[in-house]
Amino acid sequence: MNEYDSSRISDFTKAINYIKTENFKEADCFVLNTCHIREKATEKMFHEIGRIKKEYKYKKKPIVLITGCVAQAEGEVILKKSKYVDAVIGPQSYQNINDIIKKIEKNNKERIDETNFDVIKKFDTLNEIENKTSKVLNYITIQEGCDKFCKFCVVPYTRGAETSRPFEQIINEVKSLIKNGCKDITLLGQNVNAYNYKGKKLSDLISELEKLDNLKRVRYTTSHPKDMTEDLILAHGKFKKLMPLIHLPVQSGSNKVLDSMNRRHSIEYYLDKIRKLKKINNKLEFTSDFIIGYPGETNEDFNQSIDLLNEVKYVQVFSFIYSPRPGTPASDLSTINSSIAKERLMKFQLLADKYQLSFKKKLIGKTVKVLIEKKTKNQNTYFGRDEYMNSVITSEIKNDILIGKIVEVEIQKANKQTMFGRIINQFKTEKEFAA
């Protein structure tokens, strides 16, 4: 979601003649877009502020803006701690960034705290500015906020309550992206499968996207097990453009820990959803998030997470040692010994990596459908992704019209991160690839 927000911030600022630069030393304005979920997000932000300050010590001071979740959660602290920061802008207020920049330009002594929860205004403003991103694979926010209040999570406090973007706004932005070459769209939300705008659900949105001719693939993330409703489950057996990969965070394999986290689901409930999904579409695979070393986690609790990993055999897992986030209910809980947590994480991730690699190696010798996104740096091969978001590097190609096309690739080798193969239909004519 932060990548999408950063892209739209760039779209906004173009209207006041601010253009993105790759040269750190020539910027007139720095926008540090933050995510409080990331490990040591605040420390990294202050480090980056220090780097800017050092570079511009003998130059005209640039405008420095902090946006995103850290700005929302710690805006007042940031402004007090760093006089170099001109403004803090919450994730629901970045549509005001142009007005803020203009104010600072007129009065460089003015320091601004813009951390209101005006998500409706944000969505309306997003709709006013066309998304001209020209990538083959794109992301679009359809929902923000969360009402689940997991005890470890800052999202309800930094992004606010669950709010769904108007249905037609989403369709219009997707159409704009398609016009600029988008073929693969990922629908984003803190709790994306809770999307509900005037009775229209995520499954209704997917149904509408299925009708768009030049859109080839549809995905969504991040989901909550409690909102994996029957209509959405059925969608995975009905819509051809809906890809067979679901990110379904569980956080722990222990019911005791899940209850302590306020996750509002049991492992039995979670596995029942996976079985129903697999029954409706046996091609489906799953990724997930796990928190290792949550306060109170015993060896038995941890082993139950191992058991869940062995049962589901996720094709990718994102696992992290628990670290408290200020302001969350769990932040007051006693953490377990750090060496124990590190040992558990290593054991868990080694097993998760084994399943990730195993899935890719099963594809060696088989043909997969790859959407080509771009040429690689050496210009002799192409980079793309298959239906499961696996990165694929092709062999040398003689046809130079493949970007944005879905091609058949025979996988020849694979590591944990990437698969390598040869395009078996590279001699197709331009007319054939135009389909």
- Report the percent of the chain where pLDDT is more than 90: 70
Q: Whose CA is closest to 36, among 120, 121, 143, 115? A: 115
Tens digits of residue pLDDT in 152-207:
998 888 888 899 999 999 999 999 999 999 999 999 999 999 999 999 999 999 99
Spatial separation of the C-alpha atoms in residues 174 and 210, rounded to whole Å: 12
Spatial separation of the C-alpha atoms in residues 6 and 207, rounded to whole Å: 28
Q: How many CB atoms lie within 10 A of CB 43?
A: 9
Spatial separation of the C-alpha atoms in residues 304 and 291, rounded to whole Å: 13
pLDDT of residue 97: 92
pLDDT of residue 341: 97
- Region 63-84: what's the mean pLDDT? 90
Encoded tokens for 3: 């990548």
**Rg of the chain (C-alpha set):** 23
In the predicted model, is pLDDT for residue 431 greater than 70? no
More confident: 1 or 301:
301
Half-sphere exposure of 39 (CA within 13 A, CB side): 7
Tens digits of residue pLDDT in 354-394:
999 999 999 999 999 999 998 887 767 889 999 999 999 99
All domains in the chain, ordered by first residue:
2-118 (3.40.50.12160), 120-361 (3.80.30.20), 367-433 (2.40.50.140)
In the predicted model, is pLDDT for residue 283 greater than 50? yes
User: What rounded mean pLDDT belongs to the chain?
Assistant: 90
More confident: 400 or 218:
218
Beta bridge partners of 88: 66, 113
The values of phi and psi at residue 312, to 5°, are -80, -35
Tens digits of residue pLDDT in 261-277:
999 999 999 999 999 99
In the predicted model, is pLDDT for residue 335 greater than 50? yes
DSSP, collapsed to helix, strand or coil, labels residue 384 as strand
Spatial separation of the C-alpha atoms in residues 171 and 71, rounded to whole Å: 30
- Region 92-118: what's the mean pLDDT? 85
DSSP string spanning 112-165?
A: EEE----HHHHHHHHHHS------SEEEEEEEE--SS--TT--HHHHT-S-EEP
| Inter-CA distances, 199 with 48, 194, 196, 227, 234, Å | 43, 11, 6, 15, 18
In the predicted model, is pLDDT for residue 429 greater than 50? no
Spatial separation of the C-alpha atoms in residues 235 and 280, rounded to whole Å: 9
